[in-house]
Structures are given as structure tokens and as C-alpha cells.
Amino acid sequence: MNFDNYPDNQIIYNSDRLVLNAKKDNVFLIANKDVSISTGGDLHVDTNEVVVNAKSITFGLGNDLEPIAKADSVVSVINNLMSSIATFCSSLSTATGQGVGVVSLVTINAAATKLLSEITQQTNDLNNIKSTISFTN
């Protein structure tokens, strides 16, 4: 960052290390425009909870950004889909054919029963995709 060309008053602290320590209360960084934090290494925030109250939050740069899904909503949609597939499989697992006598559709019955079992396991696993740390609304 180039601070030399700023036409108004400014304070620049330049040292090998800076520590801001508020012994009894808060530290406030307030700006009329932006607050920028830049580092040549990592940025660490150590706290009990981080609250970001903003109209928009963007993680990353570029044109290939995607919206973040809400886990409860994703789980609900997938549960509904799994339930529909399970209902379909249950119907197929007992399907019979008509012709000369009643013919069991063994291959379809077995496949539907196997898929129904897999769907049950995957449905049980859905809650594991939810973050226990990051939340959004």
C-alpha cells in the first residue's frame, strides 16, 4: 500500500511490532469508508464467537463465486427427495407382473430393496454435512 500520496492528515506508525491492548474495555476501529487489514502471512482471529453483520459477505475473489447453501434447507430438500425415492422403491420391491399367472419381477424387486436400504443409510448421514461452527441466515 502506498500511503505517501494521501493529501489530508494521517498518522502512520511504522515499527518492527505494534501491540494495541485495551486493559479494561474494547478496541474500536471506525472508518467513514473501508477498514483494511493486510498481511504478508496469515490472519488469525482468536475469540469465542465471530459475528459479522453485513448486507453481503464474499469469501474469495473472482467471477466463479457461488452462493453458500443453508444446511437445514439442503437437508430438507434431500430428505424430501430420498422420501420420494424410498416410496417408489417400496412400490417396486413388491411389484408383480400379469400374464400367464403372477410373475415376480425378481431383478427389479432386489434392486429396489437394495436402493431402499442405501437411501435409508444416506438419509441418516445427512445431518453430518451440517457445520457446527459456521451459520448463516
Domain assignment present for 19: no
Question: What's the burial of 64, exposed, middle or buried (CB within 10 Å: 0-12/13-18/19+)?
Answer: exposed
In the predicted structure, residue 65 carries a pLDDT above the cut 70: yes
- Dist CA 35 CA 29 (whole Å): 8
- Show the DSSP H helices in 3-133 as ranges: 71-93, 106-125
Contact 129, 71 (CB under 8 A): yes
In the predicted structure, residue 125 carries a pLDDT above the cut 60: yes
Number of folded domains that form the chain: 1
Task: Count how many Cα atoms sit within 13 Å of the Cα of residue 23 in the half-sphere of its side chain.
Answer: 0
Domain assignment present for 33: no
Reported as a single tens digit per residue, the pLDDT across 2-16 is 777 888 998 988 899
In the predicted structure, residue 137 carries a pLDDT above the cut 80: no
The pLDDT of residue 91 is 80
Domain assignment present for 42: no
Residues in CB range of 103: below 8 A, 6 or more apart: 96, 97
Residues of the chain by 3-state class (helix, strand, coil), percent to 5: 35, 5, 60
Domain assignment present for 35: no
Which cell numbers hold the place of 118? 442405501
Domain assignment present for 59: no
In the predicted structure, residue 51 carries a pLDDT above the cut 60: yes
Residue with more model confidence, 6 or 137: 6
Domain assignment present for 36: no
Domain residues for 114?
71-129
In the predicted structure, residue 103 carries a pLDDT above the cut 60: no
